Structure 1
Amino acid sequence: MRVFVTGASGWIGSAVVPELIGAGHQVVGLARSDASAAALTEAGAEVRRGTIDDLDILRGAAAESDGVIHLAFKHDIAFSGGFESAADADRRAIDTFGEALAGSDRPFLIASGTLGLAPGRVGTEQDAQTSGAFDADVAPGPAKRLANAHATTALADRGVRSSVVRLAPTVHGDGDHGFLATVVAVAREKGVSGYIGDGSNRWPAVHRSDAAHLFRLALESAPAGSTLHAVSDEGVPIRSVAEVIGRHLGLPVTSISPDDAAEHFTWLSGFLGMDSPVSSARTRELMGWQPTQPGLLEDLDKGHYFATPSA
């Protein structure tokens, strides 16, 4: 299968590309920089230069492909106050891919997330599958990205084998610079390994390699309109995460009051305090997906998150 991948050189994409190539697929990766293009070439992929704002390039690449995996998202502006703009760009890309693939029964996958899916209980693949009031033109902030996921699964009605892969908030592994690496950096800066309140709130997690494997399985056989969960650990207590970090850095493990969390953890506080366990039972049954890589605490205990920049 000839597969067009956006975000192909990113944290998830750089694991998805070798997963696809290793299974015999031909990959064409979107690259917006010379460094990204070089990384894709080294990985054995073809390069298409451009960004997700270049809709003609996206349309042409999709038309020439047997399937599309859309992983790119403007995270760089999302965390500087431009999340709605990033979600709007994402929606334009999704609509463009939908138009190019309509009536073809070819696969189209996007990445989404699970954080905050079902507050107070274990979230499932069936949660938030209907758009309700989340119209992409009016819904604020992250709700727009949820609307984008709904738009993707709705493409099944237009003859696209579309699916959404919801990623756990922690997609961990050696080289991760995301949420978990940020928690470690905050502990170093503050001199304590903190958690909010009693630390019993839970985060789901998945190893990057296991997530990449699910994307391949979904590309090859996910039913049209399906929602899948790339989740290995259903919910790891944040206090347990803080204890591993404290042990490796030789720091005290300390509760941070909810009132002080924003000052201590800055932008991460709103996420770190959430209790958001998520199940992937239906995904495992439907796709035959079985994670094989270390869980979050085991991976954290390996030590690569604590290597100093000069190491």
Structure 2
Amino acid sequence: MTLLTFRFAPSPNGELHLGHAYSALLNQKLAKATGGRLLLRIEDIDTTRCTPEFEAAILSDLKWLGLDWEEPVRRQSQHFAEYQTMLDRLIREELVYPAFMSRGDIRAFIADTEKRGRHWPRDPDGVPHYPAQDKTLPTKERKRRIAENAPFAWRLDVEAAMARTGKPLAWTEFADETLVAMRLVEARPQDWGDVIVARREIPTSYHLAVVVDDALQGISHVVRGQDLFSATGVQRLLQEILGLPQPSYFHHRLVLGPDGRKLSKSLGDSGLAAQREAGVQPDEIRRMVGF
């Protein structure tokens, strides 16, 4: 019998807050309740913002909370070669293209387009879709720009990728943390436009790394925040075109601040380190997040 496998996957680009505590504890609870495994993954592909100091603080906070996980811990920064292999495949199959427009170029293009009365589509986070101009660049021109070290990112040609699958996509979503009732959710990767799957200097992005990691680690159940619900559509598309297994998903409630907004590392919200320094005990943290 195959064990159910869960994972908690923080990014070491800031301190953990109460929302992370809830997600980590919920994954541990479900792993124990099902007799499954809990893995820890450090999502540190952003080598500029992620630091060893933040990682050490994360591990310390999780141990203080009473979390336990199987070793070894997977660190994404140690697996760029695996992501490169998948990226090379997407390049060979012409499902990605080099995108050269800077943020300023994108803003100017969209402003000009909307000035002429055309509504520009935006993704579920409110970010404008990437313009399609680079898709039509001749191969010779693409190679010239790359040879001249022009900055670019590899973007997924969502339209071509969806056509390659030849079928509608969906994922299995559990209704609550009992992991009993489930439903099929339509995957709508087109809502995000042509997302970045890698950069010139880093052969991956969050979307590509997470589906590769989940497959290589044998993750059966992805339990994460509701804020990532819509992004699952992009990841389902990548799983399909790369022939990767599909986990089941549960997007849990978010722990909100007193003003009703999502907690954020950048705002220093409800940091576990500050709670510890104030004398708060792990059991109190559990009660604060609803356990």
Normalised to the residue count of structure 1, the TM-score between the two structures is 0.29
The structure whose Rg is larger is 2
Higher relative contact order (CA 8 A, sep 6+): 2
